[in-house]
C-alpha cells in the first residue's frame, strides 16, 4: 500500500510538471500579431523622474487592445519620435517591446511631442507637458511628533501627491496615502508621525499624474508622469 501511494505521488508530480511545462512553452511561443491596425493598438506613454538624478526616462509601449495587452512593435507605425529624435525599439522577456530614451531633467521642462506616422501616411501627435515639482520647505535633521507644514512649487491646486513614510522598525506599515495639494501646501500630521517608530525615517513625495491619450485610435491610451522627491530625518519624542 505504501509503495502504491509513493508511485501514485510520483505520477502526480510528473503530471503537474508536464502541465506546467506545457503552459510555459505556450507562453514562450505566444506571439502578438504585429500587423494589427491602429484602432487595435493601445498607446502607453510614461515619464519617470526623481529629484537629485541627472536624467529622466521616457518609456513608450504599444500594446494589443488595452493597457494589459502585450507590448509589441506594430508594423503599421513608422518613425516613432520624441520631438525630432527617432526612437529605436528594444525588448525584454518580461516587458515585451518598448521605446526608451533618457533626457536631462534640468532642460526637459515644458512641452514635448510624441509623433509617428501610419503606413497610410496619417500622423499621430501627442503633446506632453513636463513640470517638475520642488519642495521649498527645509526638512530638519531631527523632527518631533508635531504637524509640519510643507510648501511646494510646480504643482497645480488640488494636484494629488502620494506621501510615503517608512521607518526601520519593520513592525508597522508606515504611511502610504494620497493627498491633494492646496495652495502649494501639504501637512505632515502629528498622527502620521505617531504611527512611526523613533529613529531614521525616509520620506517620499510622488506626483502620479495620468490622463488619456488625446490623439489615439479606438483602443485609446494613457500618459503617465511620475516625479519623486525623497528626504530623510530622525524622528524623536
| Same domain membership, residue 71 and residue 145 | no
Q: Of 96, 130, 164, which residue constitutes the final position of a domain?
A: 130
| Same domain membership, residue 88 and residue 60 | yes
- pLDDT at residue 15 is higher than 80: no
- pLDDT at residue 128 is higher than 60: yes
- pLDDT at residue 36 is higher than 90: no
> Which comes out higher in pLDDT, residue 234 or 7?
234
- The verdict on residue 199 lying in a domain is yes
Range of the structural domain that residue 54 is part of: 38-130
CATH of the domain at 179: 2.60.40
Q: Of 81, 99, 130, which residue constitutes the final position of a domain?
A: 130
Q: Exposed/middle/buried for 89, CB within 10 Å: 0-12, 13-18, 19+?
A: middle
Q: What are 142-164's pLDDT values in tens digits?
A: 999 999 999 999 988 888 999 99
Q: What does the pLDDT average to over 13-33?
A: 50
- The verdict on residue 221 lying in a domain is no
| Same domain membership, residue 170 and residue 156 | yes
- pLDDT at residue 224 is higher than 90: yes
Q: How many domains does the chain have?
A: 2
CA pair distance 130, 209, nearest whole angstrom: 10
- pLDDT at residue 32 is higher than 70: no
- pLDDT at residue 17 is higher than 70: no
| Percent of the chain's residues with pLDDT above 90 | 73
- The verdict on residue 13 lying in a domain is no
- The verdict on residue 211 lying in a domain is no
Grade residue 8 by pLDDT with cuts at 50, 70 and 90. very low
Give the per-residue pLDDT at 6.
40
Q: What does the pLDDT average to over 154-181?
A: 87
For residue 88 the three cell numbers come to 529605436
Instruction: Return the half-sphere exposure (C-beta side, CA atoms, 13 A cut-off) of residue 24.
Output: 6
| Same domain membership, residue 150 and residue 93 | no
- pLDDT at residue 29 is higher than 50: no
Q: What are 98-120's pLDDT values in tens digits?
A: 999 999 999 999 999 999 999 98
- pLDDT at residue 225 is higher than 70: yes
Contact yes or no for 218/39 (Cβ under 8 A):
yes
Helix (H) and strand (E) counts in the chain: 2, 16
| Same domain membership, residue 108 and residue 173 | no
- The verdict on residue 188 lying in a domain is yes
Give the per-residue pLDDT at 30.
52
| Same domain membership, residue 63 and residue 49 | yes
Q: Of 111, 130, 149, which residue constitutes the final position of a domain?
A: 130
For residue 226 the three cell numbers come to 511620475
Q: What does the pLDDT average to over 128-138?
A: 94
| Same domain membership, residue 152 and residue 76 | no
| Same domain membership, residue 124 and residue 88 | yes
- pLDDT at residue 26 is higher than 50: no
Give the per-residue pLDDT at 158.
82
- The verdict on residue 220 lying in a domain is no
Grade residue 173 by pLDDT with cuts at 50, 70 and 90. confident
Amino acid at each position: 500500500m505504501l509503495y502504491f501511494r509513493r508511485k501514485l505521488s510520483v505520477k502526480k508530480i510528473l503530471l503537474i510538471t508536464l502541465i506546467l511545462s506545457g503552459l510555459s512553452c505556450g507562453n514562450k511561443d505566444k506571439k502578438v500579431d504585429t500587423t494589427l491596425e491602429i484602432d487595435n493598438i493601445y498607446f502607453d506613454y510614461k515619464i519617470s523622474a526623481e529629484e537629485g538624478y541627472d536624467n529622466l526616462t521616457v518609456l513608450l509601449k504599444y500594446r494589443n487592445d488595452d493597457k494589459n495587452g502585450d507590448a509589441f512593435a506594430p508594423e503599421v507605425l513608422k518613425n516613432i519620435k520624441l520631438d525630432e529624435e527617432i526612437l529605436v525599439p528594444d525588448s525584454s522577456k518580461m516587458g515585451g517591446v518598448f521605446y526608451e530614451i533618457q533626457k536631462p531633467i534640468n532642460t526637459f521642462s515644458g512641452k514635448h511631442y510624441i509623433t509617428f506616422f501610419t503606413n497610410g501616411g496619417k500622423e499621430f501627435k501627442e503633446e506632453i507637458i513636463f513640470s517638475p515639482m520642488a519642495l521649498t520647505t527645509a526638512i530638519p535633521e531631527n523632527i518631533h511628533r508635531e504637524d509640519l507644514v510643507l510648501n511646494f512649487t510646480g504643482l497645480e491646486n488640488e494636484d494629488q501627491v502620494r506621501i510615503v513614510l517608512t521607518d526601520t522598525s519593520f513592525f508597522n506599515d508606515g504611511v502610504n496615502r494620497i493627498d491633494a495639494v492646496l495652495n502649494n501646501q501639504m501637512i505632515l500630521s502629528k498622527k502620521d508621525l505617531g504611527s512611526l517608530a523613533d529613529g531614521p525615517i525616509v520620506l517620499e513625495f510622488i506626483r502620479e499624474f495620468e490622463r488619456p491619450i488625446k490623439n489615439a485610435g479606438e483602443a485609446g491610451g494613457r500618459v503617465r508622469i511620475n516625479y519623486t522627491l525623497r528626504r530623510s530625518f530622525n524622528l524623536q519624542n
